[in-house]
Amino acid sequence: MLRPRFRPGWVPSWKGNKRVDLNWCEDAIEHTDSGAEVTMDAVRMSDGRHVCLKRIPCRAEDSTEVAITQFLSQNEQRKDPRNHAIPLLDLIQAPDHCFMVLPFCRRLMHRFPPFSTIGEVFDMVEQALEGLEYLHELRIAHRDISIANIMMDANRIFPRGFHMDSDDQDTRGRELSGLRSRTRVGGVKYYIIDFGESMRFEPNDPVLIDMWSKAAVHAPETLEYGRPPYNPFKADIYTMGSSLKYLSVQDYAPYFDILSLLFDTMMAEDPSGRPTASAALEKFRVIKRTYSRTALHSRIRLNNLQYYESEPEDQVERAIW
């Protein structure tokens, strides 16, 4: 079931009432955010779950994105805790296109809610690197790992839900309230999404390619005019390093300067100088092990924070880290 605004026969809730403040009418919120042309949220009628619908402009059997998402959603793949690919809940078929039904998640690129502790950021970095390691182990190159394609399951953080098209409103169009920190809810799951540019290689396939990508962040070797074939796995390392540096070192200076060298190495100009995903994950874990549980619980603040903050910490939060 779609939101009221997108149901057949919709009548604006403010119609005939001039005193209504449109800012707090849920059906007055426009669907214009990034990706709005192919994604829409909905409620699954069978269990009331809030989900995301993504339109694929071809039949499912003709879509590499659907094939890779289906593969990563199989029971065997989901058993691995490193699998942070967004799971496919269902597939809706139409004659010339289809819709993937996915968990409804929140983008990290909006930076709300902000991270509260060093441990919360480390958890995000570790899950992202785990996810990339797992994809590369399966010989899947993502080819578009920007901050827009790293999301989190925020359902427990927002007890009244959150709106797809408004950073500061819940599913009813009202102001967000009762926000909980990631630590308070025992941590959250992060997902890598959007396999529209991804490629899966067979064990004996050569991995050098010469293909343009619609990626939001490009490794330098993919932009050169008349460029030679490049390794998409090394390009993934660059874009992941760029995304994680932006979400930690730049957003929360100076708390994560210790991670700068790792991310800069991942973003080396020469692809041969970049670590593998497994090596990057291990280097990160070496850094993380230098922090005590108390240090991981240290409070941090987003640069230029202007958002509603979560509930104050309590002894429950302290016990988690």
Question: Does residue 319 register a pLDDT over 90?
Answer: no
- pLDDT interval class at 152 (50, 70, 90): very high
This model's pTM is above 0.85: yes
Amino acid at 201: F
Q: What is the pLDDT of residue 306?
A: 52
- Give the pLDDT of residue 318: 43
> Considering the chain, what is the average pLDDT of its residues?
90
- Work out the burial of residue 194: count CB atoms within 10 Å of its CB; fewer than 13 is exposed, 13-18 middle, 19 or more buried: buried
Candidates 268, 211, 260; CA nearest to 239 is: 268
Pull the structure tokens for residue 61. 């059997």
Residues in the chain: 321
Give phi and psi for 168, each to the nearest 5. Answer: -115, 20
CB 144 within 8 A of CB 213: yes
Residue 25 has a pLDDT of 86
Q: Which of 106-110, 131-135, 180-184, 292-296 has the lowest mean pLDDT?
A: 106-110
What pLDDT does residue 288 have?
Answer: 98
Q: Cβ neighbours of residue 172 under 8 Å, at least 6 residues apart? A: 26, 160, 161
Contact (Cβ atoms closer than 8 angstroms) between residue 233 and residue 199? no
- The C-alpha angle 220, 147, 264, rounded to 5 degrees, equals 45
Give yes or no for residue 169 having a pLDDT over 90.
Answer: no
Segment among 33-37, 103-107, 164-168 with least mean pLDDT: 33-37
Residue with the two structure tokens 């959603």: 73
Task: Please choose, from the candidates 128, 43, 28, 120, the residue with its C-alpha nearest in 3D space to the C-alpha of residue 85.
Answer: 128
20-103 and 106-320: identical CATH topology: no
Q: Is the pLDDT of residue 119 over 70?
A: yes
Confidence band for 14, pLDDT divided at 50, 70 and 90 = confident
How many other CB atoms are there within 10 angstroms of residue 309's CB atom?
13
* Placement of tokens 């950021």 in the chain: 121
Cβ contacts of 200 within 8 Å, gap of 6 or more = 64, 67, 68, 71, 138, 139, 140, 141
Mean pLDDT of 14-30: 82
Q: Among 317, 240, 303, 242, which residue's Cα sits nearest to residue 111?
A: 303
**Coil, strand, or helix at residue 292?**
coil
The confidence score (pLDDT) of residue 45 equals 92
* Secondary structure (3-state) at 117: strand
Whole-number pLDDT of residue 303: 86
Q: pLDDT confidence of 28, banded at 50, 70, 90?
A: confident
The pLDDT of residue 198: 96
Mean pLDDT in residue range 49-77: 96
Q: CA-CA distance, 305 to 251, in Å (whole number)?
A: 10
Q: Domain limits of the chain?
A: 20-103, 106-320
pLDDT band at 305 (very low <50, low <70, confident <90, very high): low
Q: Is the model's pLDDT at 257 over the cut of 70?
A: yes
pLDDT at 170: 85
Arch. (CATH architecture) of 106-320? Orthogonal Bundle (1.10)
User: Band of the pLDDT at 154, cuts 50, 70, 90?
Assistant: very high
**pLDDT per residue as tens digits for the range 197-255:** 999 999 999 999 988 777 778 899 998 777 789 999 999 999 999 999 999 999 998 99
Rg for the chain, CA atoms, rounded: 21
What is 20-103's CATH topology? Answer: Phosphorylase Kinase; domain 1 (3.30.200)
CB distance 128 to 192 below 8 Å? yes
